[in-house]
Structure 1
Amino acid sequence: MTKSASGAAAPREKQPRLPFWQVWNVSLGFLGVQFGFALQNANASRILSDLGADLHSLSLFWIVAPLMGLIVQPIVGSASDRTWNRFGRRNPYILFGAIAAALGMAFMPNAGIVVAFIAPILFGGVMLALMDAAFNVTMQPFRALVSDMVPSEQRTLGYSVQSLLINIGAVCGSILPFVLTNVIGLENTARTGEVAPSVIWAFYIGATMLLGSVLWTVMRTKEYAPEQYNAFKGIDGEQLAREQAQLRSPAQKLRGFFNLLFTMPKTMRQLAVVQFFSWFALFIMWVYTTPAITQHVWGVEAKWFDPRYLESIGEIPAHIAAAKGAAGDWVGILFAAYSLFAALFSVVLTKIANTIGRRPTYALSLALGGLGYISFLLFQGGEQTQVNLLITEVTVPGGALALLLPMIGVGIAWAAILAMPYAILSDSLPPSKTGVYMGIFNFTIAAPQIVSALVAGQILKGVFDNQAIYIIVLAGVCMLAGAVSVFFVREQQVEGDGVETEPAIA
């Protein structure tokens, strides 16, 4: 319970359990969001390289994503906490973000057509920023929507379902360019300054999938009215309304935000350390897996990622273009594989966490991911092997096929990263500020990616001589450090809007 200004306790009603399929409806839009996000993760480095970015500057383009998250998510979280209208509390932001993201997905791979007005690499960077801002507008309210709609005893299930849907979307999004090339027959090689047709059409399909799934969630999820929500969460609605009605200057709002930042729950601060190591590693994987396996497995030298060298020779040799295209497609298969393993692990994640505890489950998962990254180093080249992927057959080096093994560990880690910190955190947040705190928690996702963007390229160039496989190994070491950090997290549970207690589940 929480108390009003007069000291009277606001009555708290028991929030009803949701029917099983309504738990799915609440999160279904994340299927499309992650479909689009996976397309970006697997193909943005490929697109930017095709448009003229050099190898060690790739991470600087990718810095746009966490910067957008850092700026957008707290603002959207705070705004959605204060939004109550006939369309809902979180739903308006989810829908608006999805529309903007779909537009960015349609325009980004077509950067080559605006060469007469703006450099393609600059246009591609702008569209990447638009996509990332829009993805963040959509994602943040989804996290808060689960916390709003799903009662505490179903919270781990809710975030596990969200993790499962995220990974189904990621599988489909990651594999789509490969399917369009090897099943449909679209071209997967790119001319200088342009993007491969298979990638362009994949982004069109992804934009459609994103809008469709988000519309399903928005139309199928009726959010609680303010009176219901306040009763379920033990909030004094009248006092909250008075507080929110107070006009404050921008300086006062900024001070209030920083006050929330510096007085965040202890659990959030402890999780921030884990988040730093795990998201630092994930960012490296997304940016550098394509050049890493192109070099390490397909044997393409680092100079073929240098735009100055490419400009000096004119046309890219056909065998180099083919190797880069094949490696880029295989990265989609690898990313689909870790997402598939994550989806499968999400099915049993709740049961494991309820049996051995959230923290041991989280730590073990991160450790397996770290070992997966490090083992990339073991798989190099090899004889050409024919692989039956059910939808088609392809021939790849043996080392490429063997990389599916590390993806098991990476997938387990990814499933845990998507679910466990939110399950641990949600019980420690005051319900009236869930949105803004979820936005602030995104700092722990954005900040390590920004740090990674600033230093990873320099480490790759200065320490590893542009041999990208070694920076993947560095990502594994960071993930292992995150696993150790989990054991320093102490779970707390907030009653109403104030008092922290010990959790029901350790």
Structure 2
Amino acid sequence: MGAGGLANISFGFFGIQIGFVLQNGNMSRIFQTLGAEMGDLAILWVAAPLTGLIVQPIIGHLSDNTWNRFGRRRPYFMTGALLAAISLILMPLAPTFAAPLLFAAALLWVLDASLNIAMEPFRAFVGDMLDKSQHSTGYAVQTAFIGAGAVVAAIFPWLLEQFGVSNVAAAGEIPATVRWSFWAGAVALFCAIGWTVLTTKEYSPEQMAAFEAEREVEQSAGVDALAAKSYAGPIAWLAAGLLVALSVEPLGLEKEIYLLGGLLATYGVLSALGISMAKQGRKANMLSSIVGDFSGMPDTMKRLALVQFFSWSALFIMWIYSGPIVSQYFYGSADPTTSAYNEGANWWNLIYTVQNGVAAVAALLLLPLMSKKIGKARTHMTCLLLGAAGFLGYFLLRDPNLLIVCEILKGIAWASILAMPYAILASSLPQKKLGIFMGLFNVFIVVPQLLVATVMGSVMNAFFPGEPIWTMLFAAAAWTLAAFAMLRVTVPGEATETANA
């Protein structure tokens, strides 16, 4: 496929990332403006990973089994785009509704679910439309559009302020810069996804089957193996969930830990139901298919899962705490009604733009060169270590201008996180299950975010009350662990390819 085709299949991600960055860069600010305390931020943010955990495997399964006159993945693109645009329009109006903080938190659930409905099929879409030789290029182009969308979304509030739009509002009110950014983002998101829908044509199921016959992939155990499993695993998950929940009161933990216990117990129950259905021969249902594919993941996916776990733990810490940290430690104010706080919030948006701009450039120029010379696995390891140094800079530095260097390092890591694991994975998965496996792979993105959302508040309140800067040290450690976890990941044929480069 030529450059134009590669751009068309990924252009929708430009809009999706605008939505995610507006959410990630401004929701802590909105929550604090509406009266949330620092210690409440993590649990308010729990909507984002929880909706991803629920939505992505379901959408992956459904899109794998969808084919109509609109295509296989494209119906989900437009459904998610419409719902996300509506959510972005409504979010800045939260102060006008009764219980504005509750309204904003509930709308975050809708927004994140909608973005996930649109996003999950895009990951599989690249694998659908390109052969194995173009997977790395396809995901690099996708990452470039992600970076470009992030730059636009992150810099827009700052640009509006430069043109005289107010960046400060009365207590309980959302600044005009944020309101107009969300509304413009809604239009951009819908139009970008619409462009991909109008300019691409999906391959038919028959064509996809022919492509699959030409590929050598890792096969999963799936539902067939599920019937042979015992109930010991589900019982263990259920017991772990109950143990976590029962520990909250005796150990004086934060109430959000109940959510973690509930998730563990729920997975145990769903696993037991899936096994029961498989034993009864009831294979043609969503639950047993998802549980079977999750328990029978290919080896490459299992090893990348650990890398994703640590990678996204750090990213979720960054999205929750970076804005407040910049305002409190680099601009001297933790009060969202002050000019200094909002100046810090805008500086965070601006340097976050640097991170995403670097990611866009690195995806097209640096990552292909590195992966050709040292391989995809070592490239990802190197980039993660650079990103860890960027987080460490937040902990050690106090000059806000030096944070730009930190964001450059984190941008390189971010580019690799968005491209390398998917390029490694897409070439090793069966085509007919690409959507569900990409959705299940996302579990290892959202579970660490849920863990951060439920546990980080308790850790901070117990050991570092009012001192969120320590979260940056946690993030640096997480990306270091992710880097070393890449030592376990091997890419078939990579040793030969890099040796001949």
Q: Tell me which interval the TM-score lies in, with the shorter structure as reference length.
A: 0.7 to 0.9
* Superposition RMSD in Å: 2.1
Q: CA deviation at 1:456?
A: 1.4
Equivalent residues of 1:464, 1:471 under 8 A apart: no
Q: What TM-score results when the alignment is normalised by the length of structure 1?
A: 0.83
Q: Which amino acid aligns with 1:474?
A: F
Relative to structure 1, is the Cα distance of residues 264 and 492 closer, same or farther in structure 2, using a 3 angstrom cutoff? farther
Q: Secondary structure at the match of 2:313?
A: helix
Per the alignment, residue 266 of structure 2 pairs with none
Per the alignment, residue 356 of structure 2 pairs with 339
Q: Which amino acid aligns with 1:272?
A: A
Residues 1:30 and 2:63 are matched in the alignment: no
Per the alignment, residue 237 of structure 2 pairs with none
Equivalent residues of 1:267, 1:492 under 8 A apart: no
Percent identity for Structure 1 against Structure 2: 40
Q: Which moved more, 1:418-427 or 1:370-379?
A: 370-379
Q: Report the Cα distance in structure 1 between the residues aligned to 2:104 and 2:312, rounded to whole angstroms.
A: 24
The answer for unaligned runs of 5 or more in structure 1 is 1-17, 237-242, 306-315, 381-398, 494-500
Q: CA deviation at 1:201?
A: 0.4
Per the alignment, residue 308 of structure 1 pairs with none
Per the alignment, residue 70 of structure 2 pairs with 87
Per the alignment, residue 490 of structure 1 pairs with 490
Deviations 1:112-158 (A, max 9, x none): 111xxx30000001111111000100110000000000111010000
Q: CA deviation at 1:323?
A: 0.7
Q: CA deviation at 1:235?
A: 8.8
Q: CA deviation at 1:209?
A: 0.4
Residues 1:158 and 2:138 are matched in the alignment: yes
Relative to structure 1, is the Cα distance of residues 185 and 248 closer, same or farther in structure 2, using a 3 angstrom cutoff? farther
Per the alignment, residue 164 of structure 2 pairs with 185
Q: Report the Cα distance in structure 2 between the residues aligned to 1:249 and 1:66, rounded to whole angstroms.
A: 30
Per the alignment, residue 129 of structure 2 pairs with 149
Q: Which amino acid aligns with 1:360?
A: R
Q: Secondary structure at the match of 2:359?
A: helix
Q: CA deviation at 1:251?
A: 9.2
The answer for unaligned runs of 5 or more in structure 2 is 216-222, 224-279
Q: Normalized per residue, which structure has more helix?
A: 2
1:98-497 equivalences under 5 Å are 98-114=81-97, 118-182=98-162, 184-234=163-213, 253-300=286-333, 304=335, 321-348=338-365, 349-380=367-398, 399-492=399-492
Deviations 1:383-420 (A, max 9, x none): xxxxxxxxxxxxxxxx1111101011100000000000
Equivalent residues of 1:338, 1:411 under 8 A apart: yes
Q: CA deviation at 1:505?
A: 6.9
Q: What TM-score results when the alignment is normalised by the length of structure 2?
A: 0.84
Q: CA deviation at 1:258?
A: 1.3
Per the alignment, residue 393 of structure 1 pairs with none
Equivalent residues of 1:50, 1:190 under 8 A apart: no
Equivalent residues of 2:332, 2:341 under 8 A apart: no
Q: Report the Cα distance in structure 2 between the residues aligned to 1:455 and 1:122, rounded to whole angstroms.
A: 21
Q: Residue 55 of structure 1 is aligned with which of 34, 38, 45?
A: 38
Q: CA deviation at 1:254?
A: 2.0
Q: Which moved more, 1:410-419 or 1:287-296?
A: 287-296
Q: Which amino acid aligns with 2:153?
A: G
Q: Which amino acid aligns with 2:356?
A: S
Q: Report the Cα distance in structure 1 between the residues aligned to 2:294 and 2:442, rounded to whole angstroms.
A: 12
Q: Which amino acid aligns with 2:440?
A: I
Relative to structure 1, is the Cα distance of residues 260 and 164 closer, same or farther in structure 2, using a 3 angstrom cutoff? same
Equivalent residues of 1:491, 1:503 under 8 A apart: no
Relative to structure 1, is the Cα distance of residues 207 and 265 closer, same or farther in structure 2, using a 3 angstrom cutoff? same
Q: Which amino acid aligns with 2:464?
A: F
Q: Which amino acid aligns with 1:56?
A: G
Per the alignment, residue 13 of structure 1 pairs with none
Equivalent residues of 2:354, 2:404 under 8 A apart: yes
Equivalent residues of 1:427, 1:492 under 8 A apart: no
